């Protein structure tokens, strides 16, 4: 498989570096959710707007925001 973002050889949809960025992104989201009422999609948009966000994380956020999986995640959260 190839990384969806950079095309590097990968074991899943993202390479090692982008997978790390995705993990960071999801961990931060847990923190944000505790602090405010925010859904996954809104969170990803905020991350993209934030000048402090690293490039790798932004690339991942953009892909997740565009993928149907990102939308599924937010609708599952609403059910709980």
Nearest to Zn ion of 4, 39 (CB atom): 4
Half-sphere exposure of 54 (CA within 13 A, CB side): 10
Nearer to Zn ion, 36 or 54 (CB): 54
Q: By CB under 5 A, name the one of 1, 2, 6, 69 that touches Zn ion.
A: 6
Cβ contact 57:21 at 8 Å: yes
| Residue 36 touches Zn ion, criterion: CB under 5 A | no
Which is nearer to Zn ion, 23 or 42 (by Cβ)? Answer: 23
Q: How far is the CB of 55 from Zn ion (least distance, A)?
A: 11
Which residues lie near Zn ion (CB under 5 A)?
3, 5-6, 8, 15, 18
């Amino acid at each position: 498989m190839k990384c969806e973002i950079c095309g590097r050889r990968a074991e899943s949809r993202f390479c090692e570096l982008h997978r790390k960025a995705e993990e960071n992104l999801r961990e931060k989201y847990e923190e944000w959710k505790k602090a405010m009422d925010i859904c996954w999609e809104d969170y990803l948009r905020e991350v993209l707007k934030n000048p402090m966000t690293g490039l790798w994380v932004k690339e991942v956020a953009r892909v997740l925001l565009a993928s149907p999986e990102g939308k599924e995640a937010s609708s599952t959260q609403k059910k709980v």
